[in-house]
Structure 1
Amino acid sequence: MKAIVIETVKPGGYSIINADDPLVLSVQEGARGETIMFSLDPDNPSLKDNLKKGNMNVTCRDENIIIQKGGWTSIVAKVNEIPITYNGKAPFNIQNAMAAVAATSALGLNEKQIRAGLVSFSPSIGLSPGRMNVIDLDYFKAVIDYGHNPGAIKATGELLPHLSVGRKLRMAAGTGNRRDEDIIEFGVILSRYYDHVVVTETDPRGRPIGVVANLVKQGLLKGGLSEKQISMISDVRVATDTILNMARKGDLVVLQADDVHFIIEYVMEYKNIKKRQLSKEVVNDDHSKEGGQNAG
């Protein structure tokens, strides 16, 4: 289905191709307009072929994102300068940055303009809600992310150890219009990266409530998690509250944000409540100390 996008490019337009994805490469013959390719590997054979055709490439070399065309190469930005790459630890977002470089270069922006955009764009709830938003909740961190397919779970899962040394906890929900085996596989992949998963129900898409969640649970068990490492809570609000309160110092809680604005509002309210509780505890502690001194 997504191949239709590059098949409908108008004359004088551009098809931007991810040369690291075999499925994308398999449909490139149908691409119209000028082809721009991007890849994490500067020695990718597809990039070399694309250059020979006189087309543009975007890739990484020596920790820099570069543009190649003809006989020239231009550095756009250092990878670790780009906030969404998490200091280069998020390859999937390096790819996203390269795709952005390809698109903006095709639109006529120069390297200085493109770099300014890359280094000023952060994965914050203000600029990119629901896309790897990391929120510090005092003694643990929460990540709000919309990713809900196996590819997204793998990509974010490999980044998690770089964000926190503690346990990895996840609130997750399957998608009802997938095949049973795909939903089970979703659970299997989750089991590789998380110490505890709270399974909720957000998008049954016509299936009876509980069916999708139970398929996810089957996958989690198949992947090696125990019954004790799985909680089944159909209400999203209760599921969110449960997993946040489950966190200990140093843990990382990943919240699947099918309803992005609800999750963001809930987490920020949770943060404010915890801040007020901490302030109250500090005040009470100060009063206790004063009382002890007066008694002496």
Structure 2
Amino acid sequence: MKLADLAALIPNAIIEGDPEIEITGISNHSRRVAPGELFVCIPGIPGYQEDRHPYAGDAVQAGAAAVVAERKVEVNAPVILVKDARHALAVFSAHLNGHPSRELKLIGVTGTNGKTTTAHMIEAILRYAGHKTGLMGNIGTKVGDTMFQTDINTQEPPVLQANLRRMADVDCAYAIMEVTSQGLDAGRVLGCNFRTAVLTNVTQDHLDYHGTMENYIAAKGLFFSRLGNGFTGDPATGKIAVLNADDPASAVFRKLTAAHVLTYGIREEADVRAEDIRLTAWGTSFRAVTYKGTADMQLGMVGTFNVYNALAAITAALAEGLPLATIRDGLVSLPGVPGRMEVINEGQPFLALVDYAHTPDGLDNVLSAVRTFAEKKVITVFGCGGDRDRTKRPVMGGIAAEYSDYVVVTSDNPRSENPGRILADIEEGLREKQYPTSRYEIVEDRAAAIARAVEMAEPGDVIVIAGKGHETYQITNHGTIHFDDREVTREAIRSLK
């Protein structure tokens, strides 16, 4: 495609240099750009992403055929000057990949907690119903039956649009995507033609990025407002917003969207509700009362929060016209999601669970669920990430104190921050709850902390290792190392024998 054809997509773009040069692809990473591609100099996000303008020359040396920039850059290649490089990145990425989301039914899931589980539930239901699916999220990207790792949750537009193109090219009918607040704020999903937008919940998280809860909610709101302002007149192609009736933020999003709204919940009136909820250590059952009938549901997952996740998935599936019986059986086909209340079983006489809970609400959900079925002690191992929202650390310490019989405070991903400072912030929450010092300890080394919990566990106890879930790495000020809570827990349990 010629550079001029791309520039024409943005009315006020200015080309400096040869407009007839051919463009074969697009990138916003100077070390990954391929010969013939367009390099986009996105502006920086302080503390999260570098300004790419200083790397324009490196990108051209690596073979970039042209550059997109918001200001003058000295390069030996044509330049498209634009007012908003992030917007241009999304526009060009979608166009160069042939607007693949137009060929798919794209379902997005946003929310503080539960995105991954809900997305996997929706995908499991659709696959059970006979549809070929794609999936993008925290655990990786799945195209048909092939799963591969990705570096961030909601991908940058060049990667995201290329993945959607792969899905469309192998005839996926649906793509299910986790949509983060940062991804929305940074314009990563601009140009994605979502059929359905699903909300799980909105609780405290990412305040280091957004600054305030108001900004955080506003970022989430972009998802629902961008569903569009028109009506197709065809239920099969109309836009749907699936909202949690029990979450106050849903009232904000309802006003922001012109899409048809379907609601789910437990406490409030909703289109899809759960009744007769029964929680056990090995699964959950409930009756789904919906606008399409009633059915008994069985989950291989524990906790009321997973009932909410299931209700969101059920509602999204009903919007696609699937029968309740198919939805029920599709949910049963999903035994669990990696790193989400994942049972580590090495034949030990106590229960060991690994979960991704890394927010106050997430930790509260997990520990309150465990408290309902724990026969004896609840032993919690957790930490908080460095270079992230400090205000949630004492809050999470207080939550651990509320539900745990013993707490081992440890490192999560300290990144460039001093781990001791993070641990002290968490300990402040334990002290505020007047949690006895005899019932907690601070073990900075995460492997040693897990081993300590395993060592003290007795028959009937439950160990919860929270914060990292499926992650297979730990980020410290020395770099990134391999670390998998599940592997470390297994090794610690085996060492007992």
In the superposition, the TM-score normalised over structure 1's length comes to 0.77
Could you list the runs of 4 or more consecutive aligned residues of structure 1 that deviate by over 4 angstroms after TM superposition?
Answer: 271-274
In structure 1, the partner of 2:490 is 268
1:116 counterpart = 2:329: yes
In structure 2, the partner of 1:292 is none
1:217/1:230 contact within 8 Å kept: no
Matches within 5 A, 1:46-195: 47=270, 57-61=271-275, 63-68=286-291, 73-75=292-294, 77-79=295-297, 81-84=298-301, 86=302, 90-123=303-336, 128-136=337-345, 137-195=347-405
Aligned-partner residue type, residue 266 of structure 2: L
Aligned-partner residue type, residue 22 of structure 1: P
Runs of 5+ unmatched residues, structure 1 = 48-56, 278-296
1:20 counterpart = 2:246: yes
2:272 is paired with a residue whose SS is strand
Q: Distance in 1 between matches of 2:275 and 2:466?
A: 33
Give the number of aligned pairs.
249
Aligned-partner residue type, residue 40 of structure 1: I
Q: Distance in 2 between matches of 1:198 and 1:237?
A: 11
**1:211-252 CA distance string (max 9 Å, x none):** 111100111111121222221111111111111111112111
Deviation at 1:272? 4.4
2:261 is paired with a residue whose SS is strand
2:450/2:492 contact within 8 Å kept: no
In structure 2, the partner of 1:294 is none
Q: Distance in 1 between matches of 2:266 and 2:382?
A: 29
Deviation at 1:268? 2.9
1:211 counterpart = 2:211: no
2:411/2:444 contact within 8 Å kept: yes
**1:109-155 CA distance string (max 9 Å, x none):** 222221111122223xxxx1111123344211111111121111221
Aligned-partner residue type, residue 239 of structure 1: A
2:380 is paired with a residue whose SS is strand
1:27 is paired with a residue whose SS is helix
Q: Distance in 2 between matches of 1:258 and 1:200?
A: 12
Aligned-partner residue type, residue 254 of structure 1: V
Q: Distance in 2 between matches of 1:257 and 1:190?
A: 12
Matches within 5 A, 1:196-207: 196-207=406-417
Deviation at 1:271? 4.2
Q: Distance in 1 between matches of 2:455 and 2:265?
A: 41
Deviation at 1:187? 0.8
Aligned-partner residue type, residue 488 of structure 2: Y
- C-alpha root-mean-square deviation of aligned residues, in Å? 2.1
Q: Give the structure with the higher percent helix.
A: 1
Q: Distance in 2 between matches of 1:212 and 1:270?
A: 25
Aligned-partner residue type, residue 246 of structure 1: M
Q: Distance in 2 between matches of 1:213 and 1:9?
A: 42
**1:189-219 CA distance string (max 9 Å, x none):** 1110011111111223432221111100111
Bigger drift between 5-14 and 243-252 goes to 5-14
Q: Distance in 2 between matches of 1:147 and 1:259?
A: 7
**1:74-103 CA distance string (max 9 Å, x none):** 12x324x2222x4xxx22111110000011
1:176 is paired with a residue whose SS is coil
